[in-house]
Structure 1
Amino acid sequence: MSEFPWGPALLFCPADRPDRYAKALERADAVILDLEDAVDPANRPAARDALVASSLDLSRVIVRVNPGGTDDHAADLAALAATPYRAVMLPKAEGLDDLRALGDYSTIALCETATGVLAAPTLAAAPGVIALMWGAEDLVASLGGTSSRRPDGSYRDLARHARSAVLLAAGAEGVAAIDTVHLDIDDLAGLADEAQDAVASGFAATACIHPGQVETVRAAYRPSDSDLAEARELLAAAETTGGVFRFRGRMVDGPVIAHARAVLRRADRIG
């Protein structure tokens, strides 16, 4: 799998709020300057002007443009071309035609419609795509539904299927997968559960909509001291033993060794 260029907590920031840009970037591993859903359509011209006038660490900035085929999309790309930022998130991506205008940008394809989820394998294999992300609410809306979650807060089967499908499509093509946002800002326990599941399943990052969510996500992705110690001990045993062996009462073979290596890689990336 290709190296994911950011840490695990990606924070959305409305592009029409330049007063929040630097603070958002300070709090998160990367900031997603959002020209789409977070901005009232009437404010999008001002948001583009703010984007062009900004000067941030370009290695940690992602710009979410509006969907392909819209007037806003063309205007967003014109503004983006006037900046040094090279990472773009494309919402409601549904096929290769949506990606053609993005040229040499590093692209996160956001699969958040029924068509987009089914097209995830094609999007993951497209040149320039470095990650897939999935979205629950737009997906449900594209089907005429009303809620991605049950009354107890758990995802409905549709959303769970889409999440898995996007993760598998990304993994099959060696690109990263980003887990979607947790809309209940005050539900840090629920966010922690979902982020812990995300890292255990193989997601590279989780998107956040509020700075208060960032540390919960980082904590979920950060291996504990005991996890690191166990991974290092297991790998040391593998070097001296070879083949299948017993470690702390468990059978260890190739996949379990790969899990341990993943823990160390994650620790190195998060720091």
Structure 2
Amino acid sequence: MTPEPFTLGPALLFCPADRPDRFAKAAERADGVILDLEDGVGPASREAARRALQEHPLDPARTIVRVNAVGTPDHEADLAALAGTAYTTVMLPKADGRFVGPLLRADGAPYAVVALCETAAGVLAAPALAMRPDVVALAWGAEDLVASLGGTSSRRADGTYRDVARHARSAVLLAAGAAGKAAVDAVHVDLDDLDGVRAEAEDAAACGFTATMCVHPRHAEAVRAAYAPSGEEVERARRLLDGAGVPPSGGAVPGGAARVDGQMVDEPLLRHARTVLERAVAGGAVGEH
């Protein structure tokens, strides 16, 4: 049994699993919630977090559970706790070549896995991970990646990513795209830098990421706004499709290419335009940048 394709997003908000008082609020503020049993919960609180996971259920269709990494004692305990829930999607941190067998639910079906490539080994394993039938999406993380390299900072003084982080981001996106899987962008850890959150989310949407992970409800709002096309972008997409004489649902340009607003338009640009319109519909409203 192969899991359904991953479509959750664009804003995925982390919530510590030992804080059930925040579960419903997180679900209200984001498109999906990542209930965290790993870094967001101290070792002494993980057993309480597992109980909270069972006792305070959220909508499984909008919830991901981040378990602890393969090979850790907490990993098996997390899976045992999950067996008592209706959740079907897990995020596997520090995913790499050690992730061999599928993670099985109580009914024997595989969990849908979001593989978090956040180490040097994980980034290099991204193409193989993306080809697994149980992996529905790849995500990446800058801070653990740099730590795995023995570094001290993923960003420059101006807040932009260092080259190694940018390379990893692109490598994970390309691996996901090559396998036809979704790609999820990393969190922005500066809680007050809403401009930075929005700028990175706008770039993520333009590059082809499906979603962005968030660590604060305000970040979720900024990510949603960034992924939603502006009225100007929607109008331009419509003009391209109308000018090329093809409907939004598909179809090739008569003659292979057309001139619209002084620009050569062919199938790749039409696909860009259709994606803009799809995101506008998915968002339920047109965003204003």
Normalised to the residue count of structure 2, the TM-score between the two structures is 0.90
Describe the superposition over 1:98-130 as per-residue Cα deviations: whole angstroms up to 9, x where unpaired. Answer: 553345111100000000000000000001111
Determine the structure 1 residue equivalent to 2:259: 246
Determine the structure 2 residue equivalent to 1:78: 80
Quote the Cα distance in structure 2 between the aligned partners of 1:122 and 1:238.
Answer: 39
- Asked whether 1:263 is paired with 2:276, we answer yes
> Superposed, which structure 2 residues align to 1:11-30 within 5 Å?
11-30=13-32
| Conserved? CA contact 1:91–1:109, under 8 Å | yes
Change (3 A) 1:99 1:108: farther
- Asked whether 1:185 is paired with 2:187, we answer no
Structure 2 residues not aligned, in runs of 5+: 247-252, 285-289
Structure 1 residues not aligned, in runs of 5+: none
Bigger helix share: 1
Normalised to the residue count of structure 1, the TM-score between the two structures is 0.96
* Aligned with residue 177 of structure 2, among 167, 171, 178: 171
1:26 aligned partner, one-letter code: E
CA deviation after TM superposition for structure 1 residue 214, in Å:
1.0
Describe the superposition over 1:22-58 as per-residue Cα deviations: whole angstroms up to 9, x where unpaired. Answer: 0000100000000000000000000000001122111
SS of 1:97's equivalent in the other structure is: coil
Identical pairs, percent: 64
Aligned residues: 270
SS of 1:251's equivalent in the other structure is: strand
Change (3 A) 1:146 1:30: same
Quote the Cα distance in structure 2 between the aligned partners of 1:121 and 1:61.
Answer: 25
* Aligned with residue 142 of structure 2, among 115, 136, 144: 136
Change (3 A) 1:98 1:16: farther
SS of 1:101's equivalent in the other structure is: coil
Determine the structure 1 residue equivalent to 2:71: 69
* Aligned with residue 201 of structure 1, among 186, 204, 207: 207
Quote the Cα distance in structure 2 between the aligned partners of 1:127 and 1:7.
Answer: 21
SS of 2:39's equivalent in the other structure is: coil
| Conserved? CA contact 1:31–1:61, under 8 Å | yes
Measured on the aligned residues, the alpha-carbon RMSD in Å equals 1.4
